[in-house]
Chain A
Amino acid sequence: MLSTHLGIRWLRRRRAAWLALAAITLTVAVPIIVVGVMQGWLEVTARQARAAESDVVIVAPGVTGSNKLRDRLEQIPGVAVAAPYTQSWAVMSRTAGGEDLRANIACQVEGIDWAADWKLGRLTAAALHAPPVTDLSAPPLPADERGTGFVTQTWRAATALAGLQVASALGGMPISLPPYQRPRPGVVCGRELLYPHAMLPGEEIQIAVPNGAGGTVGRITAEISDTVGIGVLEIDRFLVLAPLPLGQRLGGLQAKDDRAARLSGWRLSAQPGAEPHAVARAVVQDTGLRALTWQDLRGNLVKGMEIQRNIGALVMILIQGITVFIVYAVFSTMVVELRHDIGVLRGIGARRRDIAGAVLWAGAVACVGGGILGWAIGWGVLAALNPFSRATGIPLFPQDVIYTPEAPISYTWWIPLLFIVTMTVIGLLAVLLPAWRAARVEPIDTLREGA
């Protein structure tokens, strides 16, 4: 095809075309880097927000926690696992350290059945114990003591002591042991809840749920067994995970007289491939209880970041628009330089559309070629970000701000595609006028000039 042949050759032989190519490459590479990080951040945040929630939550204060209801819930199409929970807003304070250190701290206590909760896929070890890279104000439990949930260090010691006491009772110990003291129950606290108050795992705390009349609905004393670092401030700042019976005691939901123990609701995980909203609808239809998906509960957090990402992408597209002027200038110059050749070509029978097509082809090749080059450079830079950060010690994404071990990066396919397509469209628009001018070159004029 004549247009292709001419366009590619003209592009290759014009030095100014390399300027256009460089501009296009840069304005594709930079948006890919910026939006790649924004999208990575969004994906990490979505994962973090998702880590604190199950697919579907039944919000039904006072609902029964019977195995019969659990079985019924797990029979609903699309439901995989059901786990009970309680939820209470409470006040946390130290039990030691003097009056001035006993600040009342607002927290949200979730009573959970740890084993059932793990089956949901919620609060995975990674979400619970993201390894900090920078020195946070206080370190979490050592790695070999993580993943123990509510098992505190005191519990470990007490368990060992209990074994020794059994041995002592059987006469196997040469010395008498101290009296056995039942350890406090363990609770897992959000890092952002503990660290600003200089509190550490192993500390004893008191948690109370006020009844609004000067008293309490429930009060417990517990030991901090571990920290939880989802990475979402609004979760990590308030979250306290407690064993389910403790949560029920705090919320006044424990068994009383002839009343069975109750819950704040149930968390459900959807079967693979099942859509959470469809599962929620099925639950509502079957039980009449209020069911929300994780998107209903935490969706705004992700949507907010989506809006930021979209604005970022839009700004990047506007920046790409600046390339219009460079591409236009380069191709206008090219057409002026080629005026003689275009006249000759028209003289020997090249059609106007062949000439316009050649200029457009050159523009398209520059845009797509520069776009693909920009794509490679963009992803190359993204791939080099974390190694660069590690090698230089420059924290590009401080770990005390976002709880990810490295800079969040997304290699989602639509990002390069978006910026290559927009660049191509923008580039072709910039080339339209030079192409039209090229097609209007009259052979008689140029041949007269060159004669």
Chain B
Amino acid sequence: MRLGVTGLRKAWPGLTVLDGLELRVDSGEVVAIRGASGTGKSTLLHCLGLLDRPDSGQITLDSQELSSLSEAGRTAARARHIGFVFQAFHLLNDFTVRENVLMSARTAGLDLTEGRARASELLGRVGLGERDGDVRTLSGGERQRVALCRALLPRPALLLADEPTGNLDPATAAVVLGEIIALAKAEGSAVVMVTHDPEVARRADRVLELRAGRLA
């Protein structure tokens, strides 16, 4: 088991979003999480990605307890062990395609020579081996592939994707989704995807429904 979540609880004033949530994801496994709007899917993803602190509960990644880490420890864990793919891509417009991909090598403190080789390899695998330059000139699908390469560059144990195909047309979404699943499995990453898209859910190894703060 790569990712284990036990008794995760997160509440806002007057609203309990996550209520003793349990989750296990194995290496190379793709788990899709569905749920109606406002049920806490993104909150769950933010807690798993150490962007937000749960009120209680434990998150372990490769047997390492993450939820009690200090601010610096959480930042380091995000840099080295967790990859993010967002619906809005969140690329950095001041940097080129390759620099965006390489940015996660910089934040993780990896060797830049190796990082460059890995960036080329990943970009080649998603069909962007020849593309560089301003990221604003890329299409939505290309941007999402660049974001995927950035997320996977440090070989994260956990890949979190929040509506990764939400901004893409169905054909592009299918291609990007295929690449996420293929690359994550090849890297042995545990994948948790939040989605409304039935196609995404269909291609996942497991589909879980978030309801009343718990997964079913």
Contacts and interface: CB of A to CB of B under 8 A. Distances in A.
Nearest to A354: B107
Interface stretch (A58-66, A341-349, A391-399, A409-417): A341-349
Interface in B25-47: 42, 46
A349 B75 contact: yes
Q: For the side of the interface on A, what is the size category?
A: 20 to 34
Contacts of A348: 78-79, 84, 103-104, 107, 150-151
Contacts of B52: 444
A294 interface: no
A444 B94 contact: no
7 closest A-B pairs by CB: A349-B79, A349-B107, A349-B78, A444-B51, A344-B90, A13-B94, A2-B106
B43 to A, nearest CB: 10
B86 A351 contact: no
> Which of B80, B94, B151 counts the most chain A CB atoms within 10 A?
B94
B95 A9 contact: yes
A443 interface: yes
Contacts of A349: 75-76, 78-80, 104, 107-108
A125 interface: no
B94 A10 contact: yes
Interface of A: 2, 5, 9-10, 13, 340-341, 344-352, 354, 443-444, 447-448, 450-451
Interface string B102-123: 0110111000000000000000
B86 A447 contact: yes
A345 B108 contact: no
B92 A345 contact: yes
Contact of A347 (B78, B93, B94): B78
Nearest to B83: A348
29 contacts: A5-B106, A13-B94, A341-B94, A344-B91, A344-B92, A345-B107, A346-B75, A347-B51, A347-B78, A348-B84, A348-B103, A348-B107, A349-B75, A349-B76, A349-B80, A349-B108, A351-B75, A352-B75, A443-B51, A444-B52, A447-B51, A447-B86, A450-B86, A450-B88, A450-B90, A451-B42, A451-B86, A451-B87, A451-B88
Nearest to B90: A344
Contacts of A5: 106
B142 interface: no
Given A2-B106, A346-B75, A451-B42, 10 more contacts: A5-B106, A341-B93, A347-B78, A347-B84, A348-B103, A349-B79, A349-B107, A447-B86, A450-B90, A451-B162
A347 B90 contact: yes
Contacts of A340: 90
A272 to B, nearest CB: 56
Interface residues of B, number: 30
A207 B76 CA distance: 92
Contacts of B78: 347-349
Nearest to B94: A13
B15 interface: no
Contacts of A444: 46, 51-52
A341 B94 CA distance: 9
A2 B107 contact: yes
B72 interface: yes
A351 B72 contact: yes
Contacts of B49: 347
Nearest to B93: A341
Contacts of B87: 451
Nearest to B42: A451
Contacts of A354: 107
Contacts of B106: 2, 5
A345 B86 contact: no
Which has the most chain A C-beta neighbours within 10 Å: B42, B72, B103, B162?
A: B103
Nearest to A450: B88
Contacts of A351: 72, 75-76
Contacts of A448: 42
B86 to A, nearest CB: 7
A354 B80 CA distance: 16
A10 B92 CA distance: 11
B107 A350 contact: yes
A345 B94 contact: no
Contacts of A346: 75
